[in-house]
Amino acid sequence: MIEVRKLVKTFGRKPVLRGLDFSVPEGDFVAVVGPNGAGKTTLLRILASLARPTLGEVRLAGRRLPAEAGAVRRILGVVSHQPLLYGDLTAEENLRFYGRLYSVSELEARVERVLEMVGLRPRRRDLVRTFSRGMQQRLSIGRAILHEPLVLLLDEPHTGLDPEAAVMLDRLLGQVAGEGRTVVMTSHDLQRAASLANRVDVLAGGVMAASVRKGELDPEQLPALYRSVTGA
């Protein structure tokens, strides 16, 4: 589903990604971990078609980015640090807005379904401004799956969430991933990443330094592996 080959991204003269290879088969849930500034967000933004690669090849569902970005956007759902929601609108207004942008059919029914799924139906008429961070993140996921994308990209979605909200998010992620979607999630929480995903890739030095499938390695040994690979 996702094929990245020799991806290079430089900002001005600073190289962040240096010839990265990355591949995600359809339906897989991959977590990308790495130290701050490693380029996790950069990688995600490129996959999301929000940034262009400097060099290298990126394919989503067989289509090349950035050339065919327009076609790819329809099947992409993105959750970033920021919730991408309008504070002065209600939860349902936000969803309706995005639904219209994506030309989602049977919008009202779909909005209902999504609100139900993210557990925000009782707060549907409340302004997003009044939501806690956890609720905003859940609504953000709702926004991302509204148009039923095939690929879901999440950039450190647990940032700023208290443990309870994080658990709720995990449950939601499990549900969403279970629908056959391809999911890529960046995180700096190694343990959480390992429990949610079926594969954990470590981004360090601008390339994928390690890749571990679920079950291959004892979860206890992950931190050690991480440290050895990132030189922490």
Partner 1 sequence: MPEALATPYSARRDRPVAGYLRAIAAIVRKDLAAELRSRELLGAMLVFSLLLILIFNFALELDARTRQTVTAGVLWSTFAFAGTLGLNRSMALEVDRGCLDGLLLAPVDRSALFFGKALGNLVFMLLVAAIILPAYSALYNVNLFLPGLMGVVLLGSIGYVVVGTLLSSMAVQARTRDILLPLLLFPVVLPVVIAAVKATSGLLQAAPPEEIQGWINLLIAYDVIFTAVAFMTFDYIVEE
Partner 2 sequence: MDPMPRALKTLNWLTAALFVAALYMVFLYAPREAVMGDVQRVFYFHVSAGWVGAVAFLVTAISGAVFLARRDPKWDRLAVASVEIGMVFAFINIVSGSIWARPVWNTWWTWDPRLVTATIMELIYLAYLMLRQGIEDPDRRARFGSVYGIVAFISVPITFLSIRFFRTIHPVVIGSGDPTAEGAFDMTPRMLQAFMFSLLTFTLIYATLLWHRVRLARMTEHVEERRMQLTSA
Report the interface residues with partner 1, using CB under 8 A.
45, 48-52, 61, 63, 68, 70-76, 78, 80-89, 93, 97-98, 100-106, 110, 127, 143, 147-150
Return the number of the residue (64 or 188) whose C-beta is nearest partner 1.
64
Q: Does 13 bind partner 2 (CB under 8 A)?
A: yes
Sheet holding 76-79, edge to edge: 76-79, 151-155, 182-187, 29-33, 199-204, 207-213
Q: Does 231 bind partner 2 (CB under 8 A)?
A: no
Among 6-14, 71-79, 115-123, 218-226, the segment contacting partner 2 (CB under 8 A): 6-14
Give the pair of three-digit tokens for residue 21: 């290879």
DSSP output for 37-71: TSSHHHHHHHHTTSS--SEEEEEETTEEETTTHHH
Return the number of the residue (146 or 194) whose C-beta is nearest partner 1.
146
42/52 Cα distance (integer angstroms) = 10
Q: Are 76 and 87 in contact (CB under 8 A)?
A: no
Q: Does 19 bind partner 2 (CB under 8 A)?
A: no
Return the number of the residue (56 or 205) whose C-beta is nearest partner 1.
56
Q: Does 11 bind partner 2 (CB under 8 A)?
A: yes
Q: Are 118 and 139 in contact (CB under 8 A)?
A: yes
Q: Does 12 bind partner 2 (CB under 8 A)?
A: yes
**Least distance CB 79 / partner 2 (angstroms):** 24
**Least distance CB 76 / partner 1 (angstroms):** 7
Q: Which does 13 bind (CB under 5 to 8 A by kind): partner 1, partner 2, none?
A: partner 2
Phi, psi of 97 (to 5 degrees): -60, -50
Closest CA to 83 of 155, 173, 175: 155
Q: Are 172 and 117 in contact (CB under 8 A)?
A: yes
Count of residues that interact with partner 2, criterion CB under 8 A? 4
**Least distance CB 6 / partner 1 (angstroms):** 20
Q: Does 14 bind partner 2 (CB under 8 A)?
A: yes
My answer on whether omega of the bond before 66 falls inside 30° of 0, hence cis, is yes
**Least distance CB 14 / partner 2 (angstroms):** 7
Residues near partner 2 (CB under 8 A): 11-14
